[in-house]
Amino acid sequence: MDNRHIRNFCIIAHIDHGKSTLADRFLEITGTISKRDMKEQVLDSMDLERERGITIKLQPARMEMNFAEGKIHPEVAHSDRRISGEKYALNLIDTPGHVDFTYEVSRSLAACEGALLVVDATQGIEAQTLSNLYLAVDQGLEIIPVINKIDLPNARPDRVRDDLVNLLGCKPSEVLMASAKTGQGVQEILEAVIERIPAPKNTASNPFRALIFDSVFDEYKGVVAYVRVMDGTIAAEQPLHFLSTNVLSAGLEVGVFRPRMEKCETLSAGEVGYIVTGLKDVEQCKVGDTIAAAHDLAPLPGYKEVKPMVFAGLFCQDGSDYARLREAMQKLKLNDAALQFEPEHSTALGFGFRSAFLGLLHLEVVQERLKREYGLDLIVTVPSVAYTVYTTRGNVETITSPIDLPDPSTIDRIEEPWVAGEMIVPKEYVGNIMTLAQEKRGAYQGMEYLDQSRVILRYHFPLAGILVDFYDKLKSASSGYASFNYDFVDYREADVVRMDILVAAEVVEALASIVYRDEADRIGRGIVKRLKDVLPRQMFEVRLQAAIGGRIIASERIPAMRKDVTAKLYGGDVTRKRKLLEKQKRGKKRMRAQGRVDIPQEAFLSILKRD
């Protein structure tokens, strides 16, 4: 197809502002999917996405429509960007909205020339809206502002439009009004995509180069790369050079997304599609890499590299499943560029992986996918951040697990990661949010009014402080109206210690955590108290303890289950009863010395609560 008839765009928005529903209407209006096959959130193909109502994985789709002259407002018309009466190919890449999946958004932007900035008419501009907007502006994309959900009774489209005009510096007529649920205004959005977003550059005569923005592993086809062709043309059976891994292969098949994979003859410059690479090793096809016709071509600029900041251990409940876990992790990493892992061995849990994530939701999604897609029952250790430890000998170490923390006598200082956070809240909740920020050791940076009723609060936080329960408390303090986004700033010195949890006098490595010294007593008491409610009772007494070094800072006791060993007695002297009770007492003492307590997954989850 002529590159002048191609438009590549994505949808960026805060979570739950209606981008998946808007994508549904696009597919419906353009006839890409028949009414018989149509369902809600059709691009959210994972069961987990549909259950949670969020987008986790980016998903491309190619639509075709005819453009009619004279439907776009003359103030925003760009006559050089459209040819009336012609058929256009619109390549949409749906993107996630949660802060943990910002890396997915950055990969979508690298493959597009424009973006729809969707804002909820009832909630207005949110923190993640601004974050995604900044990413798009940095990429030089054409921004089309869209106000969605204008059909709701509490919609405020005029006020939200004024906010967008102030934010973008655009004209009020450039802001589109729509309701993805009813379909109102959706046709105008598609026409604006053709009208305002520039066509890809005509570089079909150059040697072939394409950017890999995602990839999946197919049991029958092997590695399938999702690509945006930047230069040249590619067809099946042509040689492929993966520049970063220096691998040579031959493509078995090329095609486009409608939104299911559909085979075609060629992919040309400007098009979005897939290439069946013929590779079987998932490590040879890296997201962000360049596929080229020759190894001496220059690589394309990739996407924004995001550094994972949250670490946790993943172990199988059945140690014999380690090989399956390793294979599953390798396949997940193929289409999850932010997931990192390395082998780890624990005395208590056996072999597993020390894994890196962008946040707790990212960790939860990976755990759930491993369970559903690969049938693995996992134990996940307490999440931690990456600490930089400076020793008295002048060495510098990066610690991602409490178990790796050196002896306190050898530590000079410890530094922890800090993030710059932006919270958008209604002005009546500012006091509650500032109190919460102080509790989380936040450093106040500034405040500004977004409009008459909403405020942007800026704080610097230690990442460990917002890692566990900050989102829940933020929503509680603002009656659900606040939104939050953050970016890494730097490392700063922290007074932290390792806290061990002992169950029946045995240290459980997976329950160890790094805590602030002045909060250790409170956190330790809370953890052992919750463990007492979670751990099942045994036939012997179980003592739960929290310790720092050799000092016990908190203790609880789970009483033994009592079996009535005298129930079978039907008479005789009282000494018979005493004899049985003494025998039971000796047995319980022996079990207390030799018995082991199995720790259920609920115990690890209870550590995440820090009240």
Q: Is the CA virtual torsion 428, 468, 309, 45 positive or negative? A: negative
More confident residue, 601 or 450: 450
Give all strands (DSSP E) within 517-587, no chain letters: 542-548, 551-558
338 in a domain, yes or no? yes
At what angle are helices 127-138 and 102-110 packed, to 10 degrees? 30
Q: What is the CA radius of gyration of the chain?
A: 29
The domain that holds 245 is classified in CATH as 2.40.30.10
Contact call for residues 202 and 213 (beta carbons, < 8 A): no
**415 and 320 share one domain:** no
Cα(90)–Cα(22) distance, integer angstroms: 14
> Quick one: pLDDT at residue 97?
47
Whole-angstrom CA distances from 277 to 223, 268, 300, 484 are 6, 17, 18, 40
- pLDDT tens-digit profile of 20-62? 788 888 888 888 776 655 555 445 444 444 444 444 455 788 8
Residue 528 sits at φ, ψ, to 5 deg, of -65, -30
Whole-angstrom CA distances from 314 to 48, 370, 531, 559, 575 are 20, 10, 20, 31, 53
303 in a domain, yes or no? no
Amino acid type, 52? R
The pLDDT-based confidence of 74 (bands split at 50, 70, 90) is very low
Chain-centre distance for alpha carbon 441 = 24
Helix (H), strand (E) counts: the chain: 14, 32
611 in a domain, yes or no? no
CB atoms within 10 A of CB 408: 11
Contact call for residues 243 and 289 (beta carbons, < 8 A): yes
Ordered strands of the 290-292 beta sheet:
247-250, 239-242, 290-292, 209-218, 222-231, 272-276, 253-257, 261-264
More confident residue, 452 or 523: 523
**544 and 586 share one domain:** yes
Cα(241)–Cα(297) distance, integer angstroms: 9
**541 and 480 share one domain:** no
The pLDDT-based confidence of 408 (bands split at 50, 70, 90) is confident
Sole residue written with tokens 């929290």? 546
Q: Of the residues 149, 169, 196, which one is the last residue of a structural domain?
A: 196
394 in a domain, yes or no? yes
DSSP 350: E
- What is the domain extent for residue 535? 497-606
Contact call for residues 26 and 10 (beta carbons, < 8 A): no
Contact call for residues 118 and 35 (beta carbons, < 8 A): no
- The pair of structure tokens assigned to 609 is 């609560």
**59 and 160 share one domain:** yes
**169 and 247 share one domain:** no
**8 and 67 share one domain:** yes
98 in a domain, yes or no? yes
**286 and 335 share one domain:** no
Overall pTM surpassing 0.85 (yes/no): no
Tell me the helix, strand and coil percentages in the chain, rounded to 5. Answer: 30, 35, 35
Q: Of the residues 230, 261, 292, which one is the last residue of a structural domain?
A: 292
CB atoms within 10 A of CB 122: 16
**42 and 57 share one domain:** yes
The domain that holds 484 is classified in CATH as 3.30.70.240
The domain that holds 103 is classified in CATH as 3.40.50.300
Percent pLDDT > 70 in the chain is 83
298 in a domain, yes or no? no
- Write down the mean pLDDT value for the chain: 81
Cα(590)–Cα(609) distance, integer angstroms: 34
**548 and 576 share one domain:** yes
Closest CA to 496 of 512, 485, 476: 512
Amino acid type, 566? T
Q: Of the residues 381, 410, 442, which one is the last residue of a structural domain?
A: 381
94 in a domain, yes or no? yes
**17 and 127 share one domain:** yes
Please list, residue by residue across 126-161, b when 16 or more beta carbons sit within 10 angstroms of its beta carbon and e when fewer do.
bbbbbbbbebbeebebbbbbbbbbbeeeebbbeebb
Number of domains in the chain: 5
Closest CA to 337 of 246, 244, 412: 244
Cα(313)–Cα(318) distance, integer angstroms: 15
- pLDDT tens-digit profile of 320-376? 888 899 988 887 876 676 788 888 887 667 788 988 887 777 787 888 888 888 888
The domain that holds 551 is classified in CATH as 3.30.70.2570
Residue 258 sits at φ, ψ, to 5 deg, of -130, 45
**371 and 402 share one domain:** no
> Quick one: pLDDT at residue 94?
63
202 in a domain, yes or no? no
**451 and 516 share one domain:** no
